[in-house]
Amino acid sequence: MITVVRSAWALLLGMFLLQVGNGLQSSLMGVRGAIEGFSTFHSSLIGSAYFLGFLGGSSFAPKFIARVGHVRVFAALASFISAIVIAFPIVSDPYVWMILRVGIGFCLSGVYVTAESWLNNSATNETRGQSLSAYMLMQMMGLVAAQGILASGDPSGWLLFVIPSICVSLSFAPILLSAAPTPTVEATRAMSLKQLYVASPFAVIGMLLMGAVFSGQFVMAAVYATEVGLNLQQLSAFISAIFIGAIVLQYPIGWMSDRMDRRLLIIGASGLAALVSLAGAFFGGNYYALLAFAALSGGLAQPLYALLIAYINDYLEPEDMPAASGGMVFLNGIGAISGPPVMGLLMATIGPSGFWFFLAFVLACISIYGAYRVTQRPSAYTEDDDYDAVPYANIMPGAASPVAVEAAQEFYVEAAEEMASDDTTEEENR
């Protein structure tokens, strides 16, 4: 890990700054929206608009890069992001903010595609897994740092809109000045949704639902915290707890993933997260209990994204794994777009507790459907052979661009081919 950080520190620093800016402006939307008098449903649509733009940008960014090159795309996106972020306080209209958030999502997804392709290009077969882990850690640290900045600012003023613009602009410097050669970025290959479903119905349905869970936690946590009366410092701590929980539990869950039936782990983690969310709905009146529920909910739910990608790879041939990444990103994006509006309607109908009830319902659906699928298909895990599935790769939904997922898929392909080679050698020795 130290070797990876030393060789790619510029890229990792750039992604940290990028996520500080992204996390700050995302949380600020919920707080500032309440100040401007936006309804809960309008705030949810503003949050959903980001994922609509992100999904579109993930598809178009490789084409732009292929046409005009990395540097020009970076410069253009930097200009757009800076202009868009500063424009939010100029016009206090929810529908204008939705359009601006679509633009933010589109531009940031293009930045992710470019930066992640650079990071992936600098990794070797031996360091790819560690590079992914370092990248995910910097992502989560950036989100947590963003909440600290939010807690110390004034959401009714301009400064908290200026800081994300500065962070995003500064994030380009270490990436563009990196000595790593400019990588080749191609449009992501994709399997059809039907092919993905045939490979793993559980992974497809689970990934769709997981998109709704992540977007709900990411963009609606600030709206929920504002509606239950948390002050700015408490709100920032609440959102930070979600991502701190993800950082802490990511590695234990990944370790277990390589040593047991992944379906049972997904079922258990999502079921437990549903119970925690249900407890949050009924016992969230105590602030410290609320922090605990946030940390456990985020810690148990966030790793499901990587578990589902690992699980579908258990049933794919190595040559099919890269093609699956585009479909999985698309499914997650569709779920992410639909999650906040549904949660917003629920919160508008029954109150702030709708935040927790929505999470509990969706996570329970993942667990229940997984339990059903266990009865329909044998496991890839076998006691005699220990575990014949490829190792778990650390990737979280905050970095859900096709390039990041393809980097994880490359890790899986290399691991699967190495396992196949080892099996062949063992058979020959016998």
pLDDT in tens, the chain (430 residues): 566 566 667 777 877 888 888 889 888 988 999 899 999 999 999 989 998 988 887 777 777 777 877 667 777 887 788 889 888 988 889 999 999 999 998 888 877 776 666 666 666 655 666 666 777 778 888 888 999 999 888 888 888 989 988 888 887 777 667 655 665 555 555 677 888 898 889 999 999 999 999 988 888 999 999 999 999 999 999 999 998 998 888 888 888 887 788 899 999 999 999 999 999 999 888 899 999 999 999 999 988 888 888 888 778 776 677 677 777 878 888 899 999 999 999 999 999 999 999 999 999 999 999 999 988 877 665 554 444 556 666 666 655 555 566 666 666 666 666 665 655 555 555 5
- Cross-strand pairs, 387: 381
Within a domain: 387: yes
Is residue 426 in some structural domain?
no
Looking at the domain assignment, is residue 427 inside a domain? no
Instruction: Supply the DSSP string of 223-234, one letter for each residue.
Output: HHHHHTT--HHH
- 35 lies in some domain: yes
pLDDT of residue 385: 46
Please indicate, yes or no, if residue 401 is contained in any of the structural domains. yes
- Tell me the residue range of the domain where 397 lies: 2-421
Q: State the pLDDT at residue 168.
A: 81
Q: Helix or strand or coil: residue 400?
A: coil
CATH of the domain at 21: 1.20.1250.20
Give the closest residue to 203 by CA, choosing from 312, 316, 128: 312
Contact status, residue 362 vs residue 237, Cβ threshold 8 Å: no
Has residue 430 been placed in a domain? no
Tokens encoding 58: 């993930």
Residue 210 DSSP class = H
With contact defined as beta carbons under 8 Å apart, do 57 and 108 qualify? yes
pTM: 0.84
Q: Which phi and psi angles does 125 have, rounded to 5°?
A: -60, -35
Residues 6+ apart with CB under 8 A from 148: 236, 240
> Per the structure, how many domains does the chain have?
1
The label of the residue with tokens 């919920």 reads: 30
Alpha helices in 69-184 (DSSP H): 70-87, 94-122, 128-151, 159-176
Q: Which two tokens stand for residue 387?
A: 């575990």
The predicted-structure confidence for 171-192, as pLDDT tens digits, reads as follows 777 766 765 566 555 555 567 7
Specify the 3-state DSSP secondary structure of 387: strand
Within a domain: 358: yes
CA–CA distance, 216 with 203 (Å, rounded to integer)? 20
Tell me the C-alpha to C-alpha distance, in Å, between residue 249 and each of 65, 214, 295: 36, 16, 9
Q: What are phi and psi of 165, to 5 degrees?
A: -60, -45
Residue 239 tokens read as 């959102």
Q: Is residue 313 part of a domain?
A: yes
Number of continuous H segments (helices) and E segments (strands) in the chain: 15, 0
Summarised one tens digit per residue, pLDDT across range 215-238 is 888 889 999 999 999 999 999 999
Q: How far apart, in Å, are the Cα atoms of 161 and each of 170, 174, 243?
A: 15, 22, 22
- In this structure, which amino acid lies at residue 295? A
